[in-house]
Structure 1
Amino acid sequence: MALSGMRGLSVFISDIRNCQNKEQERLRVDKELGNVRTRFKNEKGLSPYEKKKYVWKMLYIYMLGYDVDFGHMEAVSLISAPKYPEKQVGYIVTACLLNENHDFLRLAINTVRNDIIGRNETFQCLALTMVGNIGGREFAESLAPDVQKLLISSSCRPLVRKKAALCLLRLFRKNPDVVNVDGWADRMAQLLDERDLGVLTSSMSLLVALVSNNHEAYWSCLPKCVKTLERLARNQDIPQEYTYYGIPSPWLQVKTMRALQYFPTIEDPNTRRSLFEVLQRILMGTDVVKNVNKNNASHAVLFEALALVMHLDAEKEMMSQCVALLGKFIAVREPNIRYLGLENMTRMLLVTDVQDIIKRHQAQIITSLKDPDISIRRRALDLLYGMCDVTNAKDIVEELLQYLSTAEFTMREELSLKAAILAEKFAPDLSWYVDVILQLIDKAGDFVSDDIWFRVVQFVTNNEDLQPYAAAKAREYLDKPAIHETMVKVSAYLLGEFGHLLARRPACSPKEIFSVIHEKLPTVSPSTIPILLSTYAKILMHTQPPDPELQNQIWAIFNKYESCIDAEIQQRAVEYIALSRKGAALMDILAEMPKFPERQSSLIKKADTEVDTAEQSALKLRTQQQTSSALVVTDQRPANGTPLSSSTQLTLVKVPSMSSTADHNLAEQGLSHENGTLSKVDPQPPSADLLGDLLGPLAIEGPPSTDVQSQQTIVSGLEDVPNTIEAAAIVPFGEQTNSVQPIGNIAERFHALCLKDSGVLYEDPYIQIGIKAEWRAHHGRLVLFLGNKNTSPLVSVQAIILPPSHLKMELSLVPETIPPRAQVQCPLEVVNLRPSRDVAVLDFSYKFGNNMINVKLRLPAVLNKFFQPIAVTAEEFFPQWRSLSGPPLKLQEVVRGVRPMPLLDMANLLNSFRLIVCPGLDPNPNNLVASTTFYSESTRAMLCLVRIETDPADRSQLRMTVASGEPALTYELKEFMKEQLVNIPTAAAPVPQPTSPAAAATDPGAMLAGLL
């Protein structure tokens, strides 16, 4: 019997390995799971050995990546088996399949405790290992005293005690109260006298957790830790099995130094001297060798020693030695060591005395700025920024400017900001500062914030000697054929204020300055035009005696913009043309700007805060948004059921709607197409790259937080709707204990319905829930088709809608009983209040026989359902695109992890989101431009524009820019598209369609009948 059992397991493993593809493997696994499930139903007839065999198979299937949602009780029951083989399987499989909150674990607590306090060391080890892996608060409260007794027991073998230490560590992390500080500090110190390195290493792990929580109670352990380090450094009494590539127990060394870093100081001079001798030995004895494993171990010890040296604020001589050692590391070929060297040098900058020593390695650090690994380049940038001062600022900033032209655009914003801050803090003279900022704008204008050029204007305005030089440099940049819009702004401002100081220089007459600035007008966005109009007025004021030709040209421009739709532009044009006719009064009104008051630079303020990454910013914005938590994790377990044949016919039970005028109201409230038309502005001649401003900063700006207003849901059959609707909507599917398994993948069905308007939302052996939807502006009407597939009625039927705060939803009456082979229609009215990606949830339950089934299903009333595709022409697109100048109305992000696909497939995917791709708008054939109109009660019709830039050499990443007139809409649309693009295989799953398309098309009520 034993032989046949082992043969069965071996045959199953062989069958799995011989499968030709994933589908064959799934079929074989499903067959085996069905067999195991059948055997477990007759559990009384199973011997402990047979139960062990089937549980082993379950573990193997789980290790292959399949969900095993049954047999947990059988695995737990093996823990109480009297023999080791069965008990071992019980402990191993329970630790793998269950988590600390599983209800079945409570049944095993007494058995586990009996094994721990028993005399069988093997059983003790099994129990301690399992508790150390998955023990929760209940285990901590029940078992902690017994585990502590094992740990300090002198009669237990080291094998048991080291497992007890790790087990107690787990229990302490789950409930710190289980370790009494007053009674445990002395015992912890005694444990550090242990000669067995296994017990000592485990005890040190426990000590690290204890001192991180409360170091003051464990001062008596500090000298013991130093003695342990001395023992290891001198290789005293270290068994061979604890020596790793000649290094005495590197794991214990690292843990000991980590524990010492939680103590603020070491007051005893003898202990401090002994510790520094050990650290000196580690620093002197570590070098880079060819063996990778030895390198990893020795450098783990070394870098922990460096951290301890910095923590203890060692003498300057030792600090210098550390910097010299790191200087060798940043020059080696191994990238991991270079990274750690740069990172620790940056940390050492906190110790001001070593800054001069770090400067000796400046050339090597600059070389690291060109490393192929971006993580090393980032650490090199941080280090250069931290080590910069007046003596080396010029060299470092010039290197940063040179690197800027080749740096990845994910780094350019941070790089630009740091270069600007360093130039301002450590400029040897102001003319050099002006040169640096103008170069910065010229090379990376998209990544230069307005704060940077505002600061240049302040410096130039407040320093008269600098004004002619700054105006001359601005004039030079305007001669370039293509310059960034930020350069146009700063140059126009400087020449308007100080251009008259250049009158005697060649090509700097007022007419020539006006001509070269006016050439840039057609290429700029509406936000820049007011600055240019102010410059024209200043030029007119400084032209004495007046030039009639120049005056007429400028007046014609003012006249043109007197009727501009932009209020700012219109007001300036009207006021300037009126002022320019007042003669001498113009000189007083448009005199030079006064000096700015001295105040702290906004850039220096930024220097005190870390520059957020796009991911961090997005996370912050999501937490600031509405607090609706109606996003539900769906069950993705493999289907075990089969649908009924298409020939099965259902009778139709009609349920009256809550409002007889619902359809009429929906039609009445729908917006006409005129509401979504584009607003017209004066068209501008297109520039060489009208989409160039897409290379803007990658900082993700989000919508302001909005107040969450609770929305009532009218549900028939229930008199009291719970107040905690949103809380109820986040119950994870993994904790549902339904005995009925769904047919098909629920998540795939939901994602498919996000792109289609009809299909099956959920199906199990007893019921099928279909959906057919119609969407008009910000209104929607869904019909839920509840079909009973059996010859017996479904009773206790309940349906509750759990809406997010941005949707107003009303469900019609749902009958408590669905007759045999009948279908029920339940209309659901939806109104979209504002943009959001949160999802409504259908909490559906029914009873069939003795089975009570409850499922929570996401409803496909998602963001893109309220889109209406609209094609735009170049004359309509570019004025709108330019008017949305930047965050929070225009957001940009690099999206990685996209499934590579041809550009045509990506265009089709966008079309399925109800975004229409507009060909010919982008001159780059590898890019896509799309548009749509979004409807909600708060925004009404809002135009949305999208541009996607792809790299033919790497289709797994793209850069996406989204723009609209509403910050919340821009952010939600960007995040929605990113989720869909990263999860394309799921999002593009086929939608189950009716087997009788003609019938379903002619009669919505017959859709489910065709599906069944």
Structure 2
Amino acid sequence: MPAVRGDGMRGLAVFISDIRNCKSKEAEIKRINKELANIRGKFKGDKTLDGYQKKKYVCKLLFIFLLGHDIDFGHMEAVNLLSSNKYSEKQIGYLFISVLVNTNSELIKLIIQSIKNDLASRNPIHVNLALQCIANIGSREMAEAFAIEIPKLLVSGDTMDVVKQSAALCLLRLFRTSQEIIPGGEWTSRIIHLLNDQHMGVVTAATSLIDALVKKNPEEYKGCVSLAVSRLSRIVTANYTDLQDYTYYFVPAPWLSVKLLRLLQNYTPPAEDPGVRGRLNECLETILNKAQEPPKSKKVQHSNAKNAVLFEAISLIIHNDSEPGLLVRACNQLGQFLSNRETNLRYLALESMCHLATSEFSHEAVKKHQEVVILSMKMEKDVSVRQQAVDLLYAMCDKSNAEEIVQEMLNYLETADYSIREEMVLKVAILAEKYATDYTWYVDVILNLIRIAGDYVSEEVWYRVIQIVINRDEVQGYAAKTVFEALQAPACHENMVKVGGYILGEFGNLIAGDHRSSPSVQFQLLHSKYHLCSPMTRALLLSTYIKFINLFPEIRTQVQEVFKQHSNLRSADAELQQRASEYLQLSIIASSDVLATVLEEMPAFPERESSILAVLKKKKPGRVPENDIKESKSPTPATANHSNEVNNANNSASADLLGLSTPPTSQPGNTGVLLDVLGDIYSGNKTNNASGANNLYNHKKFVCKNNGVLFENDLIQIGVKSEFRHNLGRLGLFYGNKTSAALQNFVPSLIWSEEQNAKLSIQLRSVEPTLEAGAQIQQMLNAECIDDYTDVPSMAISFTYNNMPQKITLKLPLFLNKFFEPTEMNGESFFARWKNLGSGNQQRSQKIFKASGVMDLAAARTKMLGYGMALLDGIDPNPDNFVCAGIVHMRSQQVGCLLRLEPNKNAQMYRLTVRSSKEPVSVELCELLADQF
């Protein structure tokens, strides 16, 4: 601490040395306690302490706090230092206040008054210290207290440049806390004209402020465009000697240039005036030209500064997307970086070219670098660069190069990093479908995909190939032949068995004429995989077998023997047991005509957006180019296999229990509609308790999700679909009658007292008293969060089935965390607020608990994302920790909440801490999330 030694605070230096020389934690604590007792005695007993001594003791307290110990005194002495005229004493006072004083402290009024005195001072050093303190605290109280003084300082002609610079940055900090602090009207133009200031430091700080203001109100600050272009032009055309004080390794004002280029990216187009637009294009051309010049220095700082400006200029060119010449030149410049020695440059070049590939002007120019990009995908040492190369290949793909790119990606997939395989599979599937001129090629690609990377092929991918085959007659025979050959491989992935079982069950008859793929051979081939598969896949194969009885009557006996096997009829899995027994009876009792009707071929799927594309967009939001795939999202083949098996047998209640109901578009009255609406097909075991036992009911599973099946038994299925915005919520309850008889006197009623309604207001719409057989009805519920609450409302559903009264009581998933608004913040802001909220035990809640199973951080991350708060990556020093921020919206107030989940892999334990400005909220949110683990 050179500043400390310069002031001659020998006692502080000795104390720090003593702490460093401690041999144990106990010795350190003993020395600190001794020093705290000494300081406390000095502050209480010695009334003659001068400014130097107060500064020394306050410095010691600050050092002790930074070591991790709580400090509960000395605040008043620090405040007294603010009135000193000595810079060193005032500096230490401000430093102590910035770090230790809570915004709820009783001293805050004294602090604000001292800061106001310094802001009015004619000493620029004192003004700067006050501004830095305001920015460090950055609270709403500070914003309200100085909403007039700081803007005046910023635009006043008497203010020194160094103070203006600090005022702009301080105002930016407060604007992020309270956006109302920036005055409008004439202040707008005065702030904008700071871009013309003679002092480059003022312009740099003002550009950061204006960029934030533009994001909030672009129209009001539109006048900044011409001034920003003018300032950028002067910098770009300047020699490095013209801006000597702001030149970094021969690059004039690189930081300001980058800020101005980013500011212009807030507008589309950035300049409506032809003159301004022409001047901006000249600037961008000049930056591209300078990139081609020989470097003025061999040092890495020079190339870093020059390339930073270049990449930001290219980002602006891509944003404008209106100048073909500039776009092509930018693409060529980036192409040169693909072979650069610097890994970061190669990564950035690939990333920027991904955006260029989506422009009609530069798409062809990007395709010229296809071979180099393929080489990057295969040969790069850094996995993030390989990932970026895959992204670029996906973006540059079109009809002319689709087959080549898909084949290269398939070849690389066998040796690709595990972290990128799943995403590559999705991209290959999308490209194969989008650019397939011959759907036999598409079938080959998807089957190869399953063969190469079966574990990474999501359900959406193999659902999709089934949709394509069912909807296109010309490819059905080829698909049956190809999948039959694929199943003959010694090692066959389970996803291949699923596809094979589904397609052969529908179209196996198209290849049965060849003795090599006769009905008996098909059946034996599929059944040889049966005992190696999961229960869900076995259930699908059983549906295939009943299909075979209809397609190939000659193997009826063989199939029936499988249904009769003890492992099926007595299976521990209720779904397998029920399918085997009901399919056996169907094959024995039903005539050939009935079988042909019940087990007829699947109808075509309706046209909707591809679910594969939706999955990819969710994984890479904002980075996936739009695709024109318009095919439908299929119902789940695994549990809804061969849905036409019950297409014309609605009188069979057991068929509904098998999950074989018709696709939603074909029969809008059955339970399949509910499953489609929820997007969450339930696959749990069925209960045989007709009286409404709720062993499938767990309302707390909805803490981290909004849609799904809330309750299910033999008689009824109750699904939930909900959405929330601020303190308002809407919840849809879907009641599906699973029986062959109507449910009479159907009355859902809310259990929620007036006292509870004062905290969570509920409005429930009524429904019709009769729920017809196989039908579904919807009931809407509106909720408003008025104040914090702990319990959730309950529903009592009463009805009569076969003249027997039934009643179901269940809790609704209207938890407090549903009213979260995610809040983004950086590490500095988070830990400053975390410290402030942790000053009182009443503001925080903590639970330490053991993981319910094997600790899975990926699953934990999914739960944290579904909890409603913003997951702040890269904030915590420990990468395994989860850090979140959010605001709970209520009618009368908003409660800010911060959360940390700290997994301990060795002990298989979690520590969950929630901090908020209201104790009941902290406790309830902590309890809710802890239950999920």
Task: Sort the TM-score into its range (normalised by shorter chain).
Answer: 0.5 to 0.7
- Corresponding residue for residue 88 of structure 1: 91
**Cα-to-partner distance string for 1:783-816 (whole Å, 9 max, x where unaligned):** xxxxxxxxxxxxxxxxxxx9954899xxxxxxxx
Q: Deviations over 1:802-859 (max 9, x none)?
A: 9954899xxxxxxxxxxxxxxxxxxxxxxx99999999xxxxxxxxxxxxx9955999
Matched, 1:215 2:218: yes
2:399 is paired with a residue of what secondary structure? coil
Residues 1:226 and 2:232 are matched in the alignment:
no
Output aligned runs, 1:538-549, within 5 Å.
Answer: 538-543=547-552, 546=554
TM-superposed deviation, 1:432: 0.8
User: Could you tell me how far apart the structure 2 residues matched to 1:983 and 1:475 are?
Assistant: 47
Number of the residue aligned with 2:259: 255
Superposition deviation, residue 862 in structure 1:
8.1
Q: Which structure 2 residues correspond to residues 189-204 of structure 1 after superposition, within 5 A?
A: 189-204=192-207
| Aligned match of 2:495 | 486
Query: Aligned letter for 1:421?
Result: I
Instruction: Please say if residues 385 and 418 of structure 1, whose CA atoms lie closer than 8 Å, have aligned partners that are also in contact.
Output: yes
Q: CA RMSD in A?
A: 4.5
Specify the alignment match of 1:467 in structure 2.
Answer: 476
The offset of 1:94, in angstroms, is: 1.8
Among candidates 510, 520, 524, match of residue 533 of structure 2:
524
Q: 1:60 aligns with which of 60, 63, 66?
A: 63
AA matched with 1:521: Y
Aligned residues: 688
| Aligned partner (choices 34, 39, 43) of residue 36 of structure 1 | 39
Q: Does 1:981 align with 2:926?
A: no
Instruction: State how 1:576-655 maps to structure 2 within 5 Å.
Output: 576-579=584-587, 584-585=592-593, 588-589=596-597, 593=601, 595-597=603-605, 599-603=607-611, 606=614, 609-611=617-619
- Secondary structure of 2:259's match? helix
Residue 405 of structure 2 aligns to a residue whose secondary structure is helix
Q: Report SS of the residue matched to 1:216.
A: coil
3-state secondary structure, aligned to 2:71: coil
Alignment of 1:415-814 (within 5 A): 415-505=424-514, 507-543=516-552, 546=554, 550-560=555-565, 561-562=568-569, 566-567=574-575, 570-571=578-579, 573-579=581-587, 584-585=592-593, 588-589=596-597, 593=601, 595-597=603-605, 599-603=607-611, 606=614, 609-611=617-619, 704=708, 805=791
Contact between 2:848 and 2:909, CA under 8 Å: does it hold in 1?
no
Residues 29 and 334 of structure 1, relative CA distance in 2, 3 Å threshold: farther
**TM-score normalised to the size of structure 1?**
0.60
2:80 to 72, 77, 82: 77
Which residue does 2:396 correspond to in 1? 387
Q: Which has the higher contact order (CA 8 A, sep 6+)?
A: 1
8 Å CA contact 1:563–1:570 kept in 2: the answer is no
1:721 CA drift (Å): 12
Q: CA deviation at 1:151?
A: 3.0
| Equivalent residue, structure 2, for 1:966 | none
CA distance in 2: counterparts of 1:892 and 1:861, whole angstroms: 19
Q: Which residue of 2 aligns with 1:796?
A: none
Distance 2:606 2:909 in 1: 57
Contact persistence 1:254–1:304 (CA under 8 A): yes
Shift of residue 584, structure 1, vs aligned partner? 4.9
Q: 1:335 aligns with which of 331, 340, 343?
A: 343
- Aligned equivalent of 1:761: none
What does 1:289-438 align with in structure 2 at a 5 Å threshold? 291-370=299-378, 371-438=380-447
Pairing partner for 1:124 from 108, 124, 127: 127
Give the deviation of 1:18 after TM superposition: 2.7
After TM superposition, the score normalised by the length of structure 2 is 0.65
Aligned residue for 1:264? 268
Deviations 1:539-563, CA, capped at 9 Å, x for gaps = 344447x3xxx54332211223456
Preserved CA contact (<8 Å) 1:471 1:499: yes
In the TM superposition, residue 397 of structure 1 has moved relative to its aligned partner by 1.9
Q: Which amino acid aligns with 1:284?
A: N
The residue aligned with 2:291 is 286
CA distance in 2, matches of 1:501, 1:417: 30
- Identify if the C-alpha distance between structure 1 residues 587 and 110 changes in structure 2 by more than 3 Å, giving closer, same or farther: closer
Per-residue deviation at 1:419?
A: 1.7
Q: Deviations over 1:719-776 (max 9, x none)?
A: x999879xxxxxxxxxxxxxxxxxxxxxxxxxxxxxxxxxxxxxxxxxxxxxxxxxxx
Q: Distance in 2 between matches of 1:270 and 1:223?
A: 9
Letter in 2 for 1:263: Y
**What is the CA-CA distance between 1:281 and the residue it aligns to?**
1.2
- The share of aligned pairs that are identical, in percent, is 39
Q: Does the Cα contact within 8 Å between 2:850 and 2:908 map onto a contact in 1?
A: no
Larger radius of gyration: 1
- Whether contact under 8 Å (2:901, 2:910) holds in the other structure is no
Q: Which runs of 5+ in 1 are unaligned?
A: 614-677, 682-699, 713-719, 726-801, 809-831, 840-852, 870-889, 898-955, 959-975, 990-1012
The answer to whether the Cα contact below 8 Å between 2:354 and 2:395 also exists between their aligned partners in 1 is yes
Kept in 1, the 8 Å contact 2:118–2:127? The answer is: yes
Distance in 2, matches of 1:861 and 1:184, equals 49
Q: Residue deviations 1:685-734, cap 9 Å, x none?
A: xxxxxxxxxxxxxxx9788589999999xxxxxxx999879xxxxxxxxx
Q: CA deviation at 1:526?
A: 2.5
Could you say what secondary structure the match of 1:536 adopts?
helix
Q: Distance in 1 between matches of 2:77 and 2:620?
A: 50
**1:408/1:71 CA distance change after superposition, 3 Å:** farther
Residues 559 and 309 of structure 1: CA distance in aligned 2, closer, same or farther (over 3 Å): same
Q: Structure 1 residues 864 and 62 mapped into 2: Cα distance closer, same or farther (>3 Å)?
A: closer
CA contact (8 A) 1:894 1:957 kept: no
User: Retained in 1: the 8 A contact 2:564–2:580?
Assistant: no
CA contact (8 A) 1:558 1:577 kept: no
Alpha-carbon contact 2:849-2:909 (below 8 Å) kept = no
Q: Give the Å deviation of 1:425.
A: 0.9
SS of aligned partner of 1:122: helix
- Structure 1 match to 2:209: 206
What stretches of structure 2 of length at least 5 have no aligned partner? 622-683, 688-703, 711-719, 723-728, 730-749, 761-787, 795-809, 818-838, 862-878, 882-898, 913-933
8 Å CA contact 1:135–1:171 kept in 2: the answer is yes
Task: Give yes or no for contact 1:332–1:338 (8 Å, CA) kept in 2.
Answer: yes
For 2:267, give the aligned amino acid: F
Q: Which amino acid aligns with 1:519?
A: S
CA distance in structure 2 between the partners assigned to 1:172 and 1:837 by the alignment: 32
- Give the aligned partner of residue 243 of structure 1: 247
Shift of 1:377: 3.4
How far the C-alpha of 1:593 sits from its partner, in A, is 1.0
- Contact 2:849-2:911 within 8 A present in 1 as well: no
Matched, 1:148 2:151: yes
**1:315-355 deviation line (CA, Å, top 9, x unaligned):** 10110011112222233232322222222222223422211
Q: Is the 8 A contact 1:836 1:863 kept in 2?
A: no
Q: 1:420, 1:72 → 2: CA distance?
A: 64
Is this contact kept in 1: 2:574–2:686, CA < 8 A?
Answer: no
C-alpha distance in 2 between matches for 1:983 and 1:187: 59
Partner SS, residue 449 of structure 2? helix
* Structure 1 counterpart of 2:258, one-letter code: V
Q: Distance in 2 between matches of 1:859 and 1:215?
A: 41
